């Protein structure tokens, strides 16, 4: 099963791997044509009712494979308004081939389809929300009337007006939607289709497994913020760390800001608070009395954490007995969302907590936590997955190929380069993941964070070679988030 949001990401990842969307549309259209042939005799009347997006484009392609039938191809809208270049190219191919096309701009001009042997619904795809609008609404009604009269109805990817994730009408319980006899969906089944009274065919259209297994630019889709959002709605992050080190918590905090968090605060020992503040005027710094964090500071840090969407715990904290005892007591009392990094990681396996954890160890830290690794990528991924399930946490294990898992799903990331072995890049990663986790599910935040951190490192190495430093990544995080990169 794959959700519509994840399917959009996988589709974009496939394009980044070198599989053109045009090729995928060709394969999708061919799959639709095969299904039509299975249920219509030669010479049968086949009507294709097409929207102006890629769903309609799939049907334009299918029409080219159905020349042995009495075809009618209906476009809902004007050809000039076809939304994508590849769909437009396939429409123009139909016109040049002089196949029987018709444009519908007025719902009153939609004839019934009862004389058809097969109607193909290719009006709207999986990403549509809300009730059907005209002329699609009337077209759906006419398709349903034809179906009641005995016409076979085949939907492309999902019946128009149906939410592919839930199986419910997109416009509400009583909203109009196409009632299909058969559905040809692509790459993988969609969760909502099982609830429909329709036979579902899942067509392999040539998307490589790597498009799902590895992170890619498609994973950045959906990160855009609401244009009407207000301060704080895009995430408030607390970094708890520092003591022996002042740079580490600052790197995490600055990375969180550059990844899009609205507000980032740092809780650190008072002995380094002025130093941390001096690194950036954009940070809000809370100095905790003393030179290291200890159990005496639990109440204050828990109070601060309760006011934030996510807490990043560990950067620069050190591994003194007092610091590690503080981490243990903090996690025992905390029931929010925490990204745990650096020396704080070693405490996680022995600590009972109600917190939701994202742990970001490198392979040495993973071993110190009690986890295992391996040289073989598949074996390594399975070992990490099993350990994440045991911990009941999301793990992002850093390496040449990062492994991200929540104990069930596994994603690999291969952005990044050897220059990122320099100190501080892990602190940047923790801040990046923390900012994303403030507004996204933990697994997604970890996977996207790994991709962004590595991509920022790749952008940095273009300018600095392997002489890059951690702050170079921070400066490039906004560019790494650009889906056009």
Residues 152-163 have a mean pLDDT of 97
Q: What does the pLDDT look like over 85-140, one tens digit per residue?
A: 999 999 999 999 999 999 999 888 898 898 999 999 999 988 788 899 999 999 99
**Do residues 429 and 384 lie in contact, with contact meaning Cβ atoms separated by under 8 Å?**
no
Q: Quick: pLDDT tens for 404-429.
A: 999 999 999 999 999 999 999 999 99
Check pLDDT > 70 for residue 484: no
Q: Provide the 8-state DSSP code for 253.
A: H
Percent of the chain with pLDDT over 70: 99
What's this model's pTM, rounded to 2 decimal places? 0.92
Residue 192, pLDDT above cutoff 70: yes
d(CA 338, CA 348): 11
Mean pLDDT of the chain: 95
Average of pLDDT values for 209-231?
87
Pure H helices in 121-167: 136-148
Whether 479 shows a pLDDT value over 60: the answer reads yes
Q: Check: CB of residue 338 under 8 Å from CB of residue 238.
A: no
Q: Is the pLDDT of residue 142 over 70?
A: yes
pLDDT of 20-72, one tens digit each?
Answer: 999 999 999 999 999 999 999 989 999 999 999 999 999 999 999 998 999 99
pLDDT confidence of 226, banded at 50, 70, 90?
confident
Residue 485, pLDDT above cutoff 60 = no
- CB count within 10 Å of CB 166 equals 12
The structure tokens listed for 401 are: 């190929």
Measured CA to CA in angstroms, residue 186 lies from 29, 53, 159, 410 at distances of: 10, 16, 13, 22
Mean pLDDT of 323-342: 97
| Residues paired with residue 269 on neighbouring β-strands, in sequence order | 288
What is the distance between the alpha carbons of residues 153 and 144, in angstroms, rounded to a whole number? 8
Strands, E assignment, 31-162: 45-50, 70-76, 101-104, 118-122, 152-156
Is the previous residue joined to 262 through a cis bond, with omega within 30 degrees of 0?
no
Looking at the predicted structure, is the pLDDT value of residue 467 above 80?
A: yes
Residue 227 has pLDDT above 80, yes or no: no
Q: Residue 107: what pLDDT?
A: 87
Q: Which residue, among 77, 81, 26, 86, has the nearest Cα to 54 in the 3D structure? A: 86
The predicted structure's pLDDT at residue 368 = 95
State CA 275 to chain mean position distance: 37
């Amino acid at each position: 099963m794959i959700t519509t949001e994840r399917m959009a990401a996988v589709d974009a990842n496939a394009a980044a791997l070198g599989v053109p969307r045009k090729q995928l549309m060709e394969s999708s259209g061919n799959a639709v044509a095969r299904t039509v042939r299975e249920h219509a005799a030669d010479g049968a009347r086949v009507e294709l009712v097409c929207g102006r997006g890629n769903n309609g484009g799939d049907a334009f392609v299918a029409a080219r494979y159905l020349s042995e039938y009495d075809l009618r191809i209906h476009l809902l809208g004007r050809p000039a308004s076809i939304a994508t270049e590849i769909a437009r190219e396939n429409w123009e191919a139909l016109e040049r081939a002089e196949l029987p096309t018709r444009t519908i701009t007025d719902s009153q001009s939609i004839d019934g389809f009862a004389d058809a042997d097969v109607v193909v619904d290719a009006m709207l795809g999986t990403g549509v929300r809300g009730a059907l609008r005209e002329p699609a609404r009337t077209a759906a009604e006419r398709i349903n009337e034809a179906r009641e009269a005995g016409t076979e109805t085949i939907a492309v990817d999902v019946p128009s007006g149906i939410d592919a994730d839930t199986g419910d009408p997109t416009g509400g319980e009583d909203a109009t939607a196409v009632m299909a006899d058969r559905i040809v969906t692509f790459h993988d089944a969609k969760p909502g289709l099982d609830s429909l009274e329709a036979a579902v065919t899942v067509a392999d259209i040539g998307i490589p497994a790597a498009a799902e297994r590895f992170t890619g630019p498609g994973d950045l889709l959906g990160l855009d913020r609401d244009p009407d959002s207000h301060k704080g709605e895009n995430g408030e992050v607390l970094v708890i760390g520092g003591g022996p080190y002042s740079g580490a918590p600052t790197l995490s905090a600055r990375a969180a800001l550059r990844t899009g968090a609205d507000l980032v605060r740092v809780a650190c020992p008072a002995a380094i608070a002025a130093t941390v503040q001096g690194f950036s005027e954009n940070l809000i710094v809370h100095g905790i009395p003393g030179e290291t964090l200890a159990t005496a500071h639990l109440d204050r840090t828990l109070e601060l954490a309760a006011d934030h969407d996510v807490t990043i715990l560990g950067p620069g904290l050190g591994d003194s007995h007092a610091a590690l005892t503080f981490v243990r007591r903090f996690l025992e009392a905390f029931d929010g969302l925490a990204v745990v990094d650096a020396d704080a990681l070693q405490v996680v396996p022995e600590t009972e907590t109600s917190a939701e954890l994202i742990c970001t160890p490198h392979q040495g830290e993973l071993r110190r936590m009690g986890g295992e690794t391996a040289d073989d990528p598949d074996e390594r991924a399975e070992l990490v997955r099993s350990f994440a399930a045991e911990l009941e946490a999301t793990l992002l294990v850093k390496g040449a190929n990062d492994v991200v898992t929540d104990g069930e799903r596994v994603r690999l990331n291969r952005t990044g380069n050897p220059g990122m072995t320099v100190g501080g890049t892990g602190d940047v990663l923790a801040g990046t993941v923390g900012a994303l986790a403030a507004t996204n599910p933990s697994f997604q935040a970890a996977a996207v964070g790994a991709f962004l951190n590595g991509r920022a490192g790749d952008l940095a190495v273009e300018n600095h070679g392997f002489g890059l430093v951690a702050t170079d990544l921070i400066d490039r995080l906004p560019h790494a988030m650009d889906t056009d990169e």
